[in-house]
Amino acid sequence: MVAQAVFTVVAGIPADRLPALRTTLAAVRADPAGNALLPFGRFDRIHFASLVLAEGPGLDPALLVLELNADGRSEACLADLVEGAGGGLDALFAGAEGWPGSGDRKAARAWLDEHVVRPGAYHIGATGRTHGRIREEARLHEAICAYLEAEDAAGRLAGVSPAEVRRRVQDLVRGDPTLAWARACPPRMTGAERLRHRIRLGLFAAAVAVGALVMLPLVVAVVVVLRVKERTDAVQQDPPDPERVRALEAEEDFVAQNHLSSVIPVKPGEFRRVLLRSVLFAINLVARVFATNGKLGDIPSIHFAHWSMVNGDRHLLFVSNFDGSWESYLGDFIDKAAYGLTSVWSNTVEFPRTRFLAFAGAADGPRFRAWARAKQCSTAAWYSAYPRSTMPIIDNNTAIREGLFARLSDEEEAAWLARL
């Protein structure tokens, strides 16, 4: 499987540098692909990128969050940025403690590496597919559709079976040097990788089961403490500020996709921090096994998403790149992933009332929506390498390539043809 990096660079920015930083962020936002400072579109490995300036309770100094979802390792991605957009990084991080300047490239890369925050739990929709592969498979689909439309207009497809149509498409690909790459189709994830993740999940589940039996009194104590906290923790009472909601709505709906971020204080005490770290670890193990075919649970719209603990584990960062509107995304959360979301966010301040960590909470739709809006950060700048491609479109294009030269039954050939 192709390595894919999901990470953020997080740095504190002192108050006296914020006006200049906001000017920089506005310039990047105006043209995220090709601005003069940080032209994300020039870097072929980047799928999505965002810049978020988080301010609020417990955030002194404010945090600048550079989110990157990219092919390869984080070190390679950051090296590309230092080489190709060092001046833009200077404009972003000049006020951050210890920033050496991009003139010393080695020192700049080392500083960025030191400020990388890796996710506690993450999801990749297009598992194993590079930025280049996603674009190539879209081009393959377009080429096949153009060919079939011309054949149909000429009357050469009347009465032709799905198997014969597929054979002609295969001939088209074989005869076009620009499509030669489509004759081979690497797996989204190798069998060895799947096995490794399953073994890790199995070992974790076994360890939890054994630990729960051996340390039953401790487990009971944890549940009792949790229930006491759940009954007494403060929850959000007031609706989000209407003016702020309007400002957030004005920034949303980037073509077919959207971006969401939040930086929320973790509830005080080591109990909540340990519980949150444990939940993120468990969710990440489950996701590596059951969320590798374009969906997170039953949600098909998420390209990249992750949770990270930041600011000395005092805040929980969430960033997501997804299809559709904020309302539809939150609706999917409530209807299809409430237990998992509640298990995580119940450890942050003012979350709707929960029971036994995973119940209620996000299932309370109106209160969850109000809480999510109140805690949402403004996205200062956002970039997508393929802003008109939804996750179902990307998966469909991959399935077309996967089935093009594979052995298929008659029913599978008809289903393959229906994808075109």
Q: What is the pLDDT of residues 325-354, one digit of tens each?
A: 999 999 999 999 999 999 999 999 999 999
Count of CA atoms in the C-beta half-sphere (13 A) of 259: 23
Tell me if 20 sits within 8 A of 33, measured CB to CB. Answer: no
pLDDT at 34: 96
Instruction: Please give the chain's pLDDT, 420 residues, in tens.
Output: 678 999 999 999 999 999 999 999 999 999 999 999 999 999 999 999 999 999 988 899 999 999 999 999 999 999 999 999 999 999 999 989 999 999 999 999 999 999 999 999 999 999 999 999 999 999 999 999 999 999 999 999 998 999 999 999 999 999 999 999 999 999 999 999 999 999 999 999 999 999 888 999 999 999 999 999 999 999 999 999 999 999 999 888 767 899 999 999 999 999 999 999 999 999 999 999 999 888 888 899 999 999 999 999 999 999 999 999 999 999 999 999 999 999 999 999 999 999 999 999 999 999 999 999 999 999 999 999 999 999 999 999 999 999 999 999 999 999 999 999
pTM over 0.75: yes
Euclidean distance between CA atoms 122 and 307, whole angstroms:
6
pLDDT at 8: 98
Q: What is the pLDDT of residues 242-283, one digit of tens each?
A: 999 999 998 887 678 999 999 999 999 999 999 999 999 999
Three-class SS of the chain: CCCEEEEEEEEEECHHHHHHHHHHHHHHHHCCCCCCCCCHHHCCCEEEEEEEEEEECCEEEEEEEEEEEEECCHHHHHHHHHHHHHHHHHHHHCCCCCCCCCCCHHHHHHHHHHCEECCCEEEECCCCCCHHHHHHHHHHHHHHHHHHHHHHHCCCCCCCCHHHHHHHHHHHHHHCHHHHHHHCCCCCCCHHHHHHHHHHHHHHHHHHHHHHHHCHHHHHHHHHHHHHHHHHCCECCCCCCHHHHHHHHHHCCECCEEEEEEEEEECCCHHHHHHHHHHHHHHHHHHHHHCCCCCECCECCEEEEEEEEECCCCEEEEEEEEECCHHHHHHHHHHHCHHHHHHHHCCECECCCEECCCEEHHHCHHHHHHHHHHHECCEEEEEECCCCCCHHHHHHHHHHHHHHCCCCCHHHHHHHHHCC
Mean per-residue pLDDT over the chain, rounded: 95
Tell me if 354 sits within 8 A of 235, measured CB to CB. Answer: no
Rg value, the chain, Cα: 24
